Each structure stands twice: as structure tokens, then as C-alpha cells.
Amino acid sequence: MSIRLCQECCQWVSTRDGRCPDCQDVLPEAIDPAESDTGFRAIVGEVRGRMGHVRVSRRKLPTDGILYMTSSGLFFLPYRSVTRRRLVEQSATSPFWTIAAVLWSPLMFLSPFLRRRELREKDFVEHEPIRLGKDDLQLLPEFLSRVPGAFFVSIRNIRSIRQKRNRWIIDRSFGSSVTIQPIADGPFAQEMQQFLETRL
């Protein structure tokens, strides 16, 4: 199973047979982002602003990211994974003391006091937002072909948006529904309400 971008649905999908599971369009093995940018800009439209940090219910693709409102729909830009190296304090017990403690049990009680602590480098994978300034917002469509997991839902493909507790369910005309949950404090509900009133 591979993850590919469906240019018809404007989303990254899991596929076994090389077709989009939603629209059944044939998915290309590779996409040239430079060639796709112009088409995606026309589809996404003008970026109106950021709605908030959200979590999308799905498997095998990034779930956390930022949702943007555009003149033509909703754009999800997932967080990026960053590997950072940090110093971590770890115990450095000598193998000699470990063997001695096994052979002579009284050393077991002394071992916590005999352990040395040392700093070692360790890699940590963290997820952080791709931050776009006000002047960079119009670059958003270019991320669709460059960031696996980004997606765009066109107004034409939105049948309805309904709220269920703190989740928002986007029912699409074709394809499965998309469930979005705000993950940070902010006026997400007001932003979504504004989208419903002005775009749908």
C-alpha cells in the first residue's frame, strides 16, 4: 500500500491498486510540484485566513495540523515532523557491578548509590506547525503537492457540515466524510460558523 496525491480530490490517499478510493481516478506514481502549483492555485482560490489548530480523524496520514479558510473551500496543512537531538541524563552502571550484584546479593542494596549519571545525546521526533506569515498565505496551495497529508475540500464537494459535540463532520458529495476536532483554544466555532454563512 502506498500514499499518493489524488489531483482530482486534492488529498493524499492510501492505495493498493493505484486508484483513488474516493473518485477512482488513476493516481500518478510521481508528481512534479512545479507543474501542479498553477492548477492547485486555481482550485484552492484565495486564502482568507487561519481557522485554527485541528485534529483530523484518519489513519496512516498526519492527523494534527492547521485548517485554513479559502475563497473556494477548506485547506488542511499538517504539522511537520522534526528530529531534534537533546542531552538526556542516563545511569551508566558498570557491567562489573551488575555481575557482582547478581553473584553477591548485598551489593543489590548498594547499587543505587554506586550508579553514575552521565549525559548522552538522544534523538526525539517532534511535530510542529508550519507557520505562515500574512504575506506567505497565498503560498498555501503549493504545500498540497509537497506535504504528504495536506488536503483541500472544495465548496462544490461539501454536501453539509454538522457539529457533534466538539467535532465538526464534513459530509462530501463524493468520498468519505471528514471529521475535524479543534485541539487548541481559540474561536474555531465562530470561524466555522462564518465559513458556513459566507461560503455555503
Q: Rounded mean pLDDT of 126-147?
A: 89
- Model confidence at 134, pLDDT cuts 50, 70, 90, reads confident
Together in a domain, 47 and 141: yes
CA separation for the pair 192, 16 (Å, rounded): 34
Least confident of 14-28, 93-107, 125-139, 157-171: 93-107
Together in a domain, 140 and 190: yes
Together in a domain, 165 and 68: yes
Contact 113, 101 (CB under 8 A): no
Percent of the chain whose predicted confidence (pLDDT) is above 90 = 45
* CATH code assigned at 57: 2.30.29.30
Cell of 115: 550508579
Together in a domain, 145 and 54: yes
Together in a domain, 68 and 162: yes
Q: Which of 124, 151, 186 is the last residue of a domain?
A: 124
Together in a domain, 109 and 69: no
Q: What is the pLDDT of residue 119?
A: 74
Together in a domain, 23 and 49: yes
- Model confidence at 108, pLDDT cuts 50, 70, 90, reads low
Together in a domain, 133 and 69: yes
Q: What is the pLDDT of residue 106?
A: 61
Q: What is the pLDDT of residue 117?
A: 67
- Sign of the four-CA dihedral 185, 190, 193, 194: negative
Together in a domain, 114 and 139: no
pLDDT of 93 strictly over 70? no
Q: Which of 98, 124, 150 is the last residue of a domain?
A: 124
Together in a domain, 93 and 51: no
Question: By three-state DSSP, how is residue 76 classified?
Answer: strand
Together in a domain, 12 and 111: no
**Domain span including residue 74:** 2-79+129-199
Question: By three-state DSSP, how is residue 92 classified?
Answer: strand
Question: What are the pLDDT digits (tens) for 45-91?
Answer: 999 999 999 999 988 899 999 999 999 999 999 998 888 787 777 66
Q: What is the pLDDT of residue 19?
A: 92
* Counted domains in the chain: 2
Total H helices, total E strands in the chain: 4, 11
As a whole number, the mean pLDDT across the chain is 85
pLDDT of 92 strictly over 70? no
